[in-house]
Amino acid sequence: MKEWGFLLFLVLCLSFAFVNKESSFQDKVEIQSYEKNNNDHLDNRETSESFQTIEITKDLVFQGNLLLVNNEYPIHQESIKSDVVHLFTHKELTKGYGLHDNEIKLSEDVAHEFSTIIAAAEKEGVRHFLINSGFRDFDEQNALYQEMGSDYALPAGHSEHNLGLSLDVGSTQMKMEEAPEGKWLEKNAWKYGFIIRYPKDKMAITGIQYEPWHIRYVGLPHSVIMEEKNFSLEEYLDFLKQQKSILTTIYNEKYEISYYPVTEDMTIHVPSNLRWEISGNNMDGVIVTVFPGTTQTNFKEVRMAE
């Protein structure tokens, strides 16, 4: 009996530790701003670290996962994700959720990331997800705008759905704002690089009413910082522009995020032995994110710089 009692106590302790880790995830985020000295600021990380020079061209302002798209900032042709696929023809990408119709399209990369969300939700017993809408080309967006009007749709070129980074997620059981799927997304999407793009308390900033079904991929660590500071995408991009450079520690892993204004082609320095990504903001500059670890620049990042 004593052995059974000890085992029960051990299981309870482990369970508490896991739950506590989940609930305190946001408390593990530390953000430190610092002054950067143009191209030399990255040299402050480690004096022994090697660097490479990369070219930042003006067209990079309009590419990447952090683009701001709204009535003021339209999509450029180079902004549209190049890996958009019909999900119905990629069964490996649609495990665990349904499609509203056979014409739903989405960035393949974003679909892979969304599959991670589905797997995590299923472990918690939330499993009735449905994608109602994904990528729309300009013709599809224009037809929707003509049909629905300005109160319910945005003009072609001004909707995030024209990027390939956003999707409308529903529940097969009930309305998303009432469904377990909607509540789970609002609580957990940020852990997997997604945000609720139009939050309940940000209508004055986004200009769009609360949409618990509309999620947008921005990637890590950005979604974590936005959750921690209760930022909309507009507020986050303004924050980065004001701070210029920040060091972010998430569970003892350090990330560096820097904003660069871009008015003409230029060069910057990045570590040659760390992974990094570049995204424009669709306004006036680019954001460079340096990740922890020692992974060389991958194909996705090279492709973005082409």
Residue-wise DSSP of 117-162: HHHHHHHTT---EEEEE----HHHHHHHHHHH-TTT---TTSSGGG
pLDDT at 202 over 90: yes
> CB pairs under 8 A, 24+ apart, for 172-177?
172/98, 172/128, 172/129, 172/130, 173/128, 176/212, 176/213, 177/212
Identify the DSSP state of 24.
T
> What's the mean pLDDT in 94-116?
96
Answer yes or no: do 89 and 196 share one domain: yes
Average pLDDT along the chain: 85
Element (H, E) at 256: strand 253-261
287 part of a folded domain = yes
19 part of a folded domain = no
CA 210 from chain centre, in angstroms, equals 18
Q: 238 pLDDT band (50/70/90 cuts)? A: very high
pLDDT (0 to 100) of residue 305? 27
Among 169, 188, 217, the domain-final residue is 217
> What's the mean pLDDT in 23-46?
54
User: Which of 11-20, 102-111, 165-174 is predicted least confidently?
Assistant: 11-20
213 part of a folded domain = yes
Q: 190 pLDDT band (50/70/90 cuts)? A: very high
| Distance, CA of 232 to CA of 210 (rounded, Å) | 12
pLDDT at 64 over 70: yes
Answer yes or no: do 127 and 48 share one domain: no
Among 150, 182, 217, the domain-final residue is 217
51 part of a folded domain = yes
pLDDT (0 to 100) of residue 32? 76
**CATH code, domain with 262:** 3.30.200.180
**How many structural domains comprise the chain?**
2
Answer yes or no: do 270 and 239 share one domain: yes
pLDDT at 178 over 90: yes
Residue 284's domain comprises 30-66+231-306
Answer yes or no: do 130 and 247 share one domain: no
Identify the DSSP state of 103.
T
Answer yes or no: do 112 and 152 share one domain: yes
Q: 35 pLDDT band (50/70/90 cuts)? A: low
Among 184, 217, 250, the domain-final residue is 217
CB-facing half-sphere around the CA of 260: CA atoms within 13 A? 28
What's the token pair of residue 129? 């997800």
pLDDT (0 to 100) of residue 28? 55
Nearest CA-CA partner of 196 in 233, 250, 153:
233
9 part of a folded domain = no
**CATH code, domain with 117:** 3.30.1380.10
pLDDT at 152 over 80: no
SS (H, E, C) 228-249: HHCCCHHHHHHHHHHHCEEEEE
List the catalytic residues.
211
Answer yes or no: do 159 and 43 share one domain: no
Amino acid at residue number 226: M
Q: Determine what percent of the chain is predicted with pLDDT higher than 70.
A: 81
Answer yes or no: do 43 and 159 share one domain: no
pLDDT (0 to 100) of residue 306? 25
Answer yes or no: do 125 and 198 share one domain: yes
13 part of a folded domain = no
pLDDT (0 to 100) of residue 296? 36
Answer yes or no: do 175 and 195 share one domain: yes
- The per-residue pLDDT for range 212-229, each reduced to its tens digit, is 999 999 999 999 999 999
Coil vs helix vs strand at 66? coil
Between residues 23 and 287, the one the model is more confident about: 287
> What's the mean pLDDT in 296-302?
30
pLDDT at 124 over 70: yes
180 part of a folded domain = yes
Nearest CA-CA partner of 105 in 176, 62, 163, 66:
163
pLDDT (0 to 100) of residue 148? 83
Answer yes or no: do 51 and 84 share one domain: no
Answer yes or no: do 186 and 292 share one domain: no
Cis peptide before 221 (omega within 30 of 0): yes
Answer yes or no: do 61 and 109 share one domain: no
8 part of a folded domain = no
Burial tier of 17 (Cβ tally within 10 Å: 0-12, 13-18, 19+): exposed
Between residues 18 and 45, the one the model is more confident about: 45
pLDDT at 236 over 70: yes
